[in-house]
Each structure stands twice: as structure tokens, then as C-alpha cells.
Chain A
Amino acid sequence: MAAQLVPTRRVRRVRAPRTLPRRPADRLKLFRTPTQKLTIVVLLVVYIMLPNLLTDFWLDVLARCGLAAVGAIGLNLLTGYTGQISLGHAFFIGCGAYVAGYFGVQQNLPLAAWLPLAAVIGAVIGAVIGPFALRLRGDYLAIVTVGLLYVGAHIFTNWTSVTGGHAGTATAAPVAIGPIDFNHLHAFGQIYTRRQGMFWLCWGVVAIVALIATNIVRSRPGRAMQAVRDQDVAAEVVGVSLTRYKIGAFAVSSAFAAVAGGLFGVVQQFVNPTDFGGAPGLVLSISYVAMIIIGGIATIRGAVIGAVLVVGLPQVIQHFSEQTHIPFVKSTTGGSGVLSVFALNQIIFGLLIIVFLLFESRGLVALFERARGYFRSWPFSR
């Protein structure tokens, strides 16, 4: 039974890009080409400038995209690179949010303490769950991780001293690093709003997490993880320890999820069990899986692009529906039209999953790459 994750249906003749370095060692470099270096510079400029250009509403949306990207990168390490299906990602996100609530708000620890603590706690819980992946595979693992959501919901509602039970708990943990407080940033005589600060915080964390993830996947553990994904029995035969890398992938992925959850707590300021547990948790987990499918399985950028699309698109549609009338859609409760905006968004979401898996199972990243290849080899492209 091949544990193949990314189907290779269409075989294409691929021309090696001219910029690919000859020496194998160069291919492992973090930034391979001048274009990549340029992209980093452009992204940095956008990162710094964007909060000055957008309204607070869109900054909030983008901050949520950013924290989702952190979680999606984590899930992509587990599902995309290691091939372990998990529908329990929301549980780890919840753990992170409650760490923000307990250690950040109740114990009043600073950002530099509670956020790493969230990662550590997430990693430990992930490592405890990990052994299940050694025993189970594919379909069974997917369903057991669904069970995790329900067990998690039970813990979240009953451990009231930490989670506040059904009523929920405040999670607006402190977000100051030394003198820089992301709640009240001021520099060059300018005072920035909380939303602007949240954007910088979330996307700053995305950059750090993306760097860590890139370093994992381009080095020995990354190659081992992909070997486990492609053929775990074969990987074990050539000396890859399944125990180590499956549990390790779970730990790292949950650590990232918990960091995302901590950021979610800070942005949302208040959470309760219906944010992560049971059926809503399943919806949240599914949306994370959708992010990596739509963005691109087993790519770091894909996870980020997917997160921006899955979190951002519903907001854009919501906004658009308030401005103009979309046929068949009622923009306000009691307005005309058969479909609510929420329903429309969910249907688009479902269709996106189906369409991408059927027609481009390697996601948007592959679409970009194909377009780039087309123009690069023009006029010989087909």
C-alpha cells in the first residue's frame, strides 16, 4: 500500500529552469537565486508599509491570515511533508490559545515567555499524540484525530480554572518585547493602533516560523520526513527511524499550531470552547487542511498563500456583498435572495477543495510555477 500523498497523474516534460545551480549543495541554499533575494526585499518593504496603507478592518483580516499561516505551515510539515493526515489541528490551536489565556493573562507573563511556552506545551502534547500515528495509518488516523477534537472540547469545557469552561476566558495576553509593545506602538513621532501592531506581530511570527520550517525541510529531518511520506516501510529499511520522525513531525506541527493559537488568542482577546472543540473544531481543522491543499501541499509558501486565501476570501466576499448585489445572495438578514453570504462562502470553500484536488492537486503554487515555466520557455511552450 503506497503511502503516496501527492498524486502524479500528468507527466510533463519539465525544462530545468536556467537559474537552477549546477552543484547539488547550492540547491540546498536558503536563497538560491537573485530573484528570491529580491522577493524577500520586496516582501519586507510590503510588511513594513502595509499597515500604513490599509484600514484597521483589513489589517485585522490580514493578521488573522498571518496566524492561520503559522498553523498551516505546521500542518504542512505534518501532512504535506510527512504524510500523516490530521483533522485534529484545531485542538492544538485551542491549546495555544488557552496557554495565552492562562500564562499570558492569568499569570501575566511577558510575550517572550508565554509564546515560547505555548510552543513547548504544544510540542509536548503533540509528542504524546504522535505515537498514535505509529500504530494507525491513513483513514484510521484521520478519524482518531477527529476524536481528539471531541476529547479536547471536553477538557476545554471542564478544566474551568484554566479555560473558564463554557463561558470562556480572556486571552489578551501581553504583547510587549522589552520596550516594544505591539498594543501601543510608537516610532518616529507616530502612534500606531492595536490592529497595526497585531499585523506586524503576526506576520513577524510567520517569517520566523517559515524560516524554521524551511530549514527543517531542506535538511536531514526534512528528507527523512518526505521518505516516510513516500514509502514508510522503505524509509525504515534504509534507516529512517519512523518513531523519531513521525512523533517529531507531530511535535513540531503542534508547536506551530499552538503558536498560531496563542496569536489567535491575542487577536481575538477572548476564546471559549466552541472556537476549537467538537464540530466547530472539525470545521476549523478542515479549513487548515484546505489551506494546504489550495495553497500547495508540501511547500512552505503554499501554506502561507493558502492561509491568506482561505481566511481572506470570505471577508472579501462579505465586503463585496455589502457594496454590490451578488445574484441569489442576500447580503442582510431579511433581504431578498436565497443564499446567505455565509452559505455562499462555505459552498465556495467546498468547491475550492474539490476543484483543486481534482484538477491541480499541488495547489496554487504549482499553478504559478506552470505559468512561469510557460513564459520562460516561450515561444516553445505548449
Chain B
Amino acid sequence: MTKFLELCVQGIATGAQYALVALGFVIIYRATGVINFAQAGFVVLGAYLAYDFHITLGVPFYPALALAMLAGALIGVIVEATVLRRLVGQPPFVVIMITIGVLTIIEQIVPTIWGANPLPLGDPWGVKSKKVGDIVLRVSDLWTIGIVFGVVVLFFLFFRYTKFGVAMRATAVDLEAALAQGISVRGVVAVSWAIAGMVAALAGVTLAGGGAGVRPDIELVAFAAFPAIILGGLDSPGGAVVGGLIIGLAQSLTAGYQPEYASWLGQGFNLVMPYFVMIIVLMVRPYGLFGQRQVRRA
């Protein structure tokens, strides 16, 4: 039972990180219909920027985190304004490939500036752990869960109760109708990219925290969030959170029990488990658990 609970907390922490990355994808997808592969690049950049603000410039950790999120927002806006704005109305294939092009470039800028070796993030969580009854919990996991849920709640309040949040939802439902109502769609798109950049930076920091260090392959973890997005449905922020948690839990429970009970599935099965969950769900619901079913006409 102790093991089960520990695995659950770890799973929820991992899932919270996935949820954060997935949220970034979903916000952009809702506003613009773009799957932004460069999101993984934003995650890595965010972590490195936090490192620069905190270690190189000596800003205290939490202000440095806020600065990194602002910088992430700026990067998102810049990418949107320079590249993606030219692509309105292009087929998905073209847009996906362009964001992959952007990702390829970010991928090379990072090691060119910071090198390929892991750097210590210097976060206050470190490798400390805490004992609750019999259960040993990592402090960084608890902080990750706390921060992520705080951000998610803020995000939903923003969507629900602010004027701009309503404008964003209106744009997601019907772009032309929103334009006709006087909503600045361009502004909505820019803010969506900014929010995506912010949550990406936050995700990057939580991924690099807890003694893991800032390293270029944080990007791979960001790719591992794909099943979470698909699971929840590309256009559902709530789905992204639920999908992230399901994937995180599935992964951590598989890592904990599969070597013991189903070793025939092979080594490292926990790493592919998310994809199996994704494929099974998609076979039943092609638009994810909460995704909107698209009506197609010839």
C-alpha cells in the first residue's frame, strides 16, 4: 500500500508536468488550430532562462521563475508574430512542419549557448524528501503538484470570469463570429501564444527541478506529453489536465509494478505505456476523451 501511494504521488507529479506542457499545446490549438511542435523547444528555453536569471544573474529563485515565465511569453509572441502569423489558413501539414522547423532551430540554439551538459538549477526543492506516515515523498514533487494546480486554477478562473478569457473562448468557438463582435482576434492569438510560452517555461522549471538539472533532453519529456493531449482531446484544456494526470499515473504505476508482474512486456515498458493508452483511447474515441467532434462536409 505504501508503495502504491508513493507511486501515485510520483505519478500525479509527473502527470502535472505533462498537464502543463499539454495545456500549452491546447491553448495554441484552440486559438489558432495549430499543433505547435516548437512548444517542446519553449519548455527547454524556459528552463535555461530560469537558470540564467537565478544562477548567472543571481535573482532569487521565485522571482527568477516569474522572469523566466515572462521571457517565455515573449518568445511565444515573437515566434507567432514572425512565423506563424504568415500561415493563417494554411493546411495543417504545412503548419506542423513549420513549427517543427522552428523546433529544429531552437534545439540547436540551446546547446550552442549553454552547452550540452546538465546544469544545476539551484532550486530550493533539491533532492530533499519528506516522510508522511510510512510514505516517503519528494519535496520537489509536492511543490510541482502545488504550483501546477495553482496555475491551472488561475487559468480556468481567467477563462471563466475575465473579459479577455471570454473573448478567447469565443474565438475558439467561431473565429469569424468573434471578429464580427469586435474581438481582436490578433490580440487573442498573441495572448494565447504568450500564455503557452509562460506555462512552457514553468513546465521546464519543474522538469529541471528536484535535482534533475537543466539539460537539453528536457525536450523529450515534452514530447512525452503528446499522448496526454491526444487523450484529453486537442481542443480541451480540461482534457489536457485530465489526460496529463492519467498518463502520469499510468506511467508511474507501470514503472512500479510491470517489472514484477508483467516482465514479458520488456524493459522500459513504462516509457511506451502512454502511447498504448493513447492508441486504445483513440480507437474508441477518435477525438480524445473531451475533444470536440468535428463535423465534416465535402
Contacts and interface: CB of A to CB of B under 8 A. Distances in A.
Interface string A194-220: 000000000000000000000000000
Given A157-B267, A233-B298, A5 B272 contact: no
A358 to B, nearest CB: 6
B86 interface: yes
Interface in A58-87: 79, 83, 85
B112 A144 contact: no
Contacts of A151: 272, 275-276
Interface stretch (B7-15, B48-56, B92-100): B92-100
* Dominant SS among interface residues on chain A: helix
A158 interface: yes
Nearest to A148: B275
Given A346-B107, A346-B108, A144 B298 contact: no
Interface stretch (B68-76, B145-153, B222-230): B222-230
Contacts of A346: 104-105, 107-108
B266 A293 contact: no
A153 B227 CA distance: 16
B58 to A, nearest CB: 25
By size class, the interface of chain B is 35 or more
A290 B101 CA distance: 9
Interface in B84-141: 86-87, 90-94, 96-98, 100-105, 107-109, 111-112
A138 interface: yes
A279 to B, nearest CB: 5
A286 B272 contact: no
A23 interface: no
Given A7-B94, A339-B112, A147 B104 contact: no
B98 A351 contact: no
A357 B98 contact: yes
Contacts of A233: 296-298
A354 B223 CA distance: 21
A308 interface: no
Contacts of A279: 217, 220, 223
A1 interface: yes
A143 B51 CA distance: 31
Contact of B283 (A135, A234, A293, A347): A135
A282 B276 contact: no
B230 A143 contact: yes
A252 to B, nearest CB: 19
Contacts of B259: none
Contact of A351 (B101, B227, B272): B101
Interface string B256-285: 000000000011110110011011001100
* Dominant SS among interface residues on chain B: helix
Interface residues of A, number: 54
Given A143-B230, A150-B271, A154-B269, A350 B286 contact: no
Contacts of B298: 231, 233-234, 237
Nearest to A292: B97
Contacts of B234: 139-140
Given A7-B91, A139-B35, A343 B112 contact: yes
Given A147-B279, A237-B298, A293 B97 contact: yes
A354 B101 contact: yes
A282 B111 contact: no
B269 A142 contact: no
Interface of A: 1-5, 7, 79, 83, 85, 132, 135-136, 138-140, 142-144, 146-147, 150-151, 153-154, 157-158, 231, 233-234, 237, 278-279, 282, 286, 289-290, 293, 338-340, 342-344, 346-347, 349-354, 357-358, 361
20 contacts: A1-B296, A2-B91, A3-B91, A4-B91, A5-B91, A132-B279, A143-B35, A143-B230, A146-B226, A147-B279, A151-B272, A158-B266, A289-B97, A343-B111, A350-B100, A350-B105, A352-B101, A354-B98, A354-B102, A358-B86
